[in-house]
Amino acid sequence: MTKLFFPSFEPLASTLAAFGTYAVGFATLPLGGIVFDHYGDKTRLILALLIMGVATFLMGHLPIYNSIGVWAPILLVVLRFIQGIGVGGEGGKVW
């Protein structure tokens, strides 16, 4: 992932940027729990799986840095944000 989305960075900075994209998804887990907290169990499960599935599908079809430039890592972070909301929504209660 570091060579595909962050090729212009130093190796250490590229690795940290890749881990930062994972951190974005992890940090949005509570937000997903808050957003989906008022839905019922079945609706919450369907919405969470749909959001995670669409975000994951789009990540798999995301062009790399050499194709669209700086938009590749930006779109990757946005999709990880959306995916984190879906995962957090599946988890249930936050508090």
Exposure class string for 19-33: b at 16+ Cβ within 10 A, else e: eebeebbeebbeebb
Q: Domain tally for the chain? A: 1
pLDDT digits (tens, 9 = 90+) for 2-61: 777 878 778 898 889 889 988 998 899 888 888 888 888 888 889 999 999 999 999 999
Q: Is the model's pLDDT at 94 over the cut of 60? A: no
Q: Supply the pLDDT for residue 44.
A: 87
What's the Cα-to-Cα distance from 32 to each of 15, 18, 44, 47, 66, rounded to whole Å? 26, 22, 10, 11, 32
pLDDT per position as a tens digit, 74-83: 999 999 999 9
32 is in which domain, residue-wise?
Answer: 2-91
- Would the pLDDT of 1 be above 80? no
pLDDT score recorded for residue 56: 94
